[in-house]
Amino acid sequence: MQKEVRRRRTFAIISHPDAGKTTLTEKLLLYGGAIHLAGSVKARRAARHATSDWMEMERERGISVTSSALQFEYRGFRINLLDTPGHQDFSEDTYRTLMAADSAVMLLDNRKGVEEQTRKLFEVCRLRSIPIFTFINKCDRVGVSPLQLLDDVEAELGMACAPLTWPVSDGTNFLGVYDRGDRALHLFEKGGDHGASRPPAKVAGLEDPEVEILLGAAATARLREEVELLDMAGAGLDEAAFAAGKVSPTFFGSALTNFGVEPFLRRFLEYAPAPPIRPSSEGPIHPEDERFTAFIFKIQANMDPKHRDRLAFARICSGRYNPGETVTNLRSGKGIRLTEPQQFFGQEREAVETAWPGDVVGIHDRGNLRIGDTLASKGSPAFEAIPPFSPEHFARVQLPDPLRRKHLDKGLKELSEEGAVQVFYQDGVSGPAPIVGAVGTLQFDVLLHRLEHEYGVKARLDPMPYRDARWVEGPDAEIRRVGTALDAALVFDRNDKPLLLFRSEWVRQAAETREKALSFHRMAPE
């Protein structure tokens, strides 16, 4: 147990859209030996696609719209890489996935630094006290100076950077990285396949006479001066400060061309935390506790459309996953028989004999599990809930063919249980026109696409004029009075909890100030 726990590394990559997150994921898999040829998300018409982008719509658009789990072995470590959507319209899926991660890699564009979506996801990591690594990407292009980028991160996020690698440049071209840990210079050569395979690399010491021949006298002198400056400034890694989220080990590179990826992966595995102790309603749960505990952070239906299956992604927190064992779903109080665990590699999956704390496994589900459910073999150690966030966009679902209503209801039910969209009703669950809510409008495109291709339902969405919402508690008469106002509407979620929709943030703030008998919640109350 102890050996298996200590060699696990479970992490997520967070970034603003287009910072290169899925490309970095591909290259980590390439250097980890999990794939032999990396697919480019930019080559939408090519035969290769990103391994983590398995949904048809992702392949068509060249973006990630759903989280995926990727597991592989590297240098004796078992790595669970949780790839998340970078697009802000799918940020709620990313929030849920971060609940299952033990650390995060914050990916920054070297020309833009900290951007809006990065800032939001960083705050989620900070709330959960997740240690953060920083990878400054796209260094093959001219960008902001490295020192300025480090200063910007500290000013924007209040977190210091400890550069473990440093970019090497001749003033125009990015040539490689200097690893401050082993004091080695990694000089990369561009391959002819646009980063699809591992390029050759030369490794030399900074004092090696050959370095000056390779870089030129001016570039070599500048690099030595920068390294000396970093050493004098004491820009090393304080591991206690890193664990507390105050310092971020920082790396430079280019995921597209593979520069700097291997040094990052080696250092990441050295410093990334193993599965930690997790708080629960019964007190701290140690990963080496013999009882099995896990929580569901994602549900995905129809990963294999041919089999119409439904998988619950479970993060194991303690104990050993033993196929055939019966555990309790603490929400429902019912027993769940653990089937043969499925582990993932994008859309592909394989049965494994067992799984350990830190691992993410798929459990075949017949509709009994929900996001946030805790599973336990003994006791009632409920983990922190994963509530839905209030949507920012709403639309009525119109069905041209009334004979497909049962198929529509089934699709909406299953997709809402996945967390792909939220479903509300004004007139009860059997009402004529369900209302769907989303954090971003791109979720609506995914909804219509999946309804048509997975459930055979061609639906239409009529946008509603509401842009803010809050779950609400208080006297029923007061809630209904506010819900009939000109700039508001009252709907109910699938658990029959009331949600007030507002035309704007200003209208919602005014209602919160005025309605003293009501309490408003951004996340659904338990």
Residue by residue, DSSP assigns 64-122 as --S-EEEEEEETTEEEEEEE---SGGGHHHHHHHHTT-SEEEEEEETTTBS-HHHHHHH
Range of the domain at 347: 293-376
For position 445, what pLDDT does the model report?
87
Domain end call among 271, 303, 326: 271
CATH value at residue 301: 2.40.30.10
Same domain for 369 and 452, yes or no, is no
Tens of pLDDT along 385-420?
776 777 889 999 999 998 999 999 999 988 888 777
For position 198, what pLDDT does the model report?
57
Same domain for 517 and 487, yes or no, is yes
Same domain for 326 and 243, yes or no, is no
Domain end call among 346, 376, 406: 376
Position 279 in a domain: no
CATH value at residue 13: 3.40.50.300
Same domain for 341 and 490, yes or no, is no
Tens of pLDDT along 207-227?
777 778 777 888 888 888 888
The residue type of 202 is K
For position 467, what pLDDT does the model report?
92
For position 305, what pLDDT does the model report?
57
Q: Are 292 and 319 in contact (CB under 8 A)?
A: yes
Position 78 in a domain: no
Q: Are 424 and 496 in contact (CB under 8 A)?
A: no
Same domain for 304 and 263, yes or no, is no
Which whole-number Å values give the CA distances from 460 to 133, 397, 444, in the listed order?
43, 6, 10
Q: Are 65 and 87 in contact (CB under 8 A)?
A: yes
Position 74 in a domain: no
Position 13 in a domain: yes
For position 417, what pLDDT does the model report?
81
For position 68, what pLDDT does the model report?
64
Helical pair 261-271 and 21-31, crossing angle rounded to 10 deg: 80
Same domain for 214 and 312, yes or no, is no
CATH value at residue 418: 3.30.70.3280
Domain end call among 236, 271, 306: 271
Position 89 in a domain: yes
Q: Find, among 93, 114, 133, the residue nearest to 440 by Cα.
A: 93
Same domain for 329 and 458, yes or no, is no
Same domain for 60 and 191, yes or no, is yes
Tens of pLDDT along 224-259?
888 888 888 766 788 888 988 889 999 999 988 888
Same domain for 159 and 299, yes or no, is no
Position 73 in a domain: no
Same domain for 245 and 317, yes or no, is no
Q: Which residues of the chain have pLDDT under 70?
A: 34-68, 84-92, 190-202, 234-235, 302-308, 344-348, 387, 427-432, 526
Position 409 in a domain: yes
Q: Find, among 368, 431, 367, 370, the residue nearest to 396 by Cα.
A: 431
Tally of domains within the chain:
3
Position 256 in a domain: yes
Same domain for 355 and 482, yes or no, is no
Residues in the chain: 526
Interatomic CA distance for residues 204 and 187, integer angstroms: 8
Same domain for 241 and 156, yes or no, is yes
User: What is the reported pTM?
Assistant: 0.78
